[in-house]
Amino acid sequence: MTIRIFFVVAAGIVLAVGCTWPSETPDAGPEAGPSVGAAPTAAELGSATYSGIEDQGPVTLSAGKWEGEPFEEGGASVPMVWLSEGFYLSADIDGDGAEEAIAHLTYSTGGTGNFAYLAVLGREDGAIVQQGLAEVGDRVQIRKARIESTRVALDVLQAGPDDGMCCPTQLATRSFAMQGGQFVEAGTEVTGTASPATLEGQEWVLRKLSSTEAAPEGPEVTLVFDDGRLSGTSGCNSYNGGIEPGETATDIAVGPLTTTRKACPPEMMNLEQRYTAALQGAQSWGFHLGQLVINYRQGDSFGSLFFEGREASPGT
């Protein structure tokens, strides 16, 4: 059985507020042309038809999105479905000898809830056909996604029995598989409770300065959490500082940062100043499709920093 995992760069992310995802897509990635037995490509998922999402009938995406009619005549709230561009898995998930693609979809009614689904799509007589759909849940944050044999495994941060949907604390691994011709949740293992310690053991590399602005390819900006403190490189200098938890498990405050005082070219200093100012305004953290998200406030403005995790370097 051939298993391939690809991830496409996310765009247009909106967060209220993993874990390692490949930073590059192979040359023969999901955007490559289809071949016999190949899974649908990421582009094909963005124009496919999906069924079984809440009380909606079949919805056909256009450029990865679908928008229905207002719930009330003249109303502003409309149902929406969109494909998560940062998520793509493929494998022979049903054992038929041909690869399927697993897509991540979000359904919104215009309120605070965002309901996630996993869809399995394959090819039948040249057409893209949905072969299964499973609900992941409301505002479930994906820390890591992978294929394990013929199952899709998600490491997630989600609301536990005593949590509000706004403030999840439960860490879990959930698996999904084809059973009896249906794509269903096949098991859940609760693995812990979220805290700043959840972020330890990895080096986080800045990938985006906002949901729409990629970080420069160089110099590299990094972040490491360790025993109530954080440290890293900010483009020019090294930094470190303390962190304090807040009222909820994912609230966080960053104390004054201590930095080295090396002088660098203006563009590097500008990146450093933007990054450290945002980091010191941190208010909460979370995950979005495998990336760590640090949400911050500066005056009356709010923003988010997006990081990709990798194994921490020795000595960090």
Residues with Cβ within 8 Å of 221's Cβ and at least 6 positions away in sequence, in order, are 205, 206, 215, 232, 233, 234, 235, 271, 275
**Same domain, yes or no: 25 and 156:** yes
Question: Could you tell me the pTM of the whole model?
Answer: 0.84
Note the pLDDT of residue 72: 82
Q: Which residue has the tokens 């391939």?
A: 4
**Same domain, yes or no: 188 and 220:** no
Question: What's the sign of the alpha-carbon dihedral 106, 216, 293, 279?
Answer: negative
Going by the DSSP 8-state scheme, the letter that residue 221 receives in this structure is B
**Same domain, yes or no: 286 and 252:** yes
Residue 300 has pLDDT above 50, yes or no: yes
Residue 36 has pLDDT above 70, yes or no: no
Model confidence band, residue 144 (pLDDT cutoffs 50, 70, 90)? very high
How does DSSP assign 111-167, residue by residue? SS-EEEEEEEEEEETTEEEEEEEEEEEETPEEEEEEEETTEEEEEEEE--TT--TTS
**Same domain, yes or no: 106 and 54:** yes
Note the pLDDT of residue 17: 37
**Same domain, yes or no: 201 and 82:** no
Distances (CA, A) of 253 to 247, 270, 283: 11, 23, 6
Mean pLDDT along residues 196-206: 96
**Same domain, yes or no: 237 and 289:** yes
Kindly state the tokens that stand for 182: 């249906």
Mean pLDDT along residues 236-263: 94
At which of 164, 192, 220 does a domain end? 192
Residue 258 has pLDDT above 60, yes or no: yes
Residue 311 has pLDDT above 90, yes or no: no
**Same domain, yes or no: 23 and 158:** yes
Percent of the chain scored above 90 by pLDDT?
76
Note the pLDDT of residue 34: 54
CATH number of the domain residue 283 falls in = 2.40.128.270
Which range marks the domain in which residue 147 is found? 3-192
- Identify whether 316 is part of a domain: no
In tens, the pLDDT along 83-139 reads 998 899 999 999 999 999 999 999 998 878 899 999 999 999 889 999 999 999 999
Note the pLDDT of residue 30: 47
**Same domain, yes or no: 220 and 290:** yes
- Identify whether 89 is part of a domain: yes
Note the pLDDT of residue 71: 81
- Identify whether 232 is part of a domain: yes
The H helix count followed by the E strand count for the chain is 2, 22
Q: Which residues of 216-243 are buried (b: 16+ CB within 10 A; e: fewer)?
A: eeebebbbbbbeeebbbbbbbbebebeb
Kindly state the tokens that stand for 255: 């104390």
**Same domain, yes or no: 161 and 292:** no
Tally of domains within the chain:
2
- Identify whether 27 is part of a domain: yes
Cα–Cα dist 269/277, whole Å = 12
Residue 274 has pLDDT above 90, yes or no: yes
Model confidence band, residue 314 (pLDDT cutoffs 50, 70, 90)? low
For residue 51, the SS3 value is: coil
14 versus 145: which is more confidently predicted?
145
**Same domain, yes or no: 107 and 16:** yes
Cα–Cα dist 181/177, whole Å = 10
**Same domain, yes or no: 91 and 217:** no
At which of 154, 176, 192 does a domain end? 192
Number of C-beta neighbours around residue 56 at 10 A: 14
Radius of gyration of the chain (CA): 20
Q: What is the mean pLDDT of the chain?
A: 88
Closest CA to 170 of 158, 162, 161: 158
**How many alpha carbons fall within 13 Å on the CB side of residue 153?**
11
Asked whether the bond before 70 is cis by omega within 30 degrees of 0, the reply is: no
**Same domain, yes or no: 187 and 206:** no
**Long-range contacts made by residues 253-261, C-beta under 8 angstroms, separation at least 24?**
253/282, 253/283, 254/230, 254/279, 254/280, 254/281, 254/282, 256/280, 259/234, 261/237
Mean pLDDT along residues 136-164: 96
At which of 166, 192, 218 does a domain end? 192
Cα–Cα dist 234/33, whole Å = 40
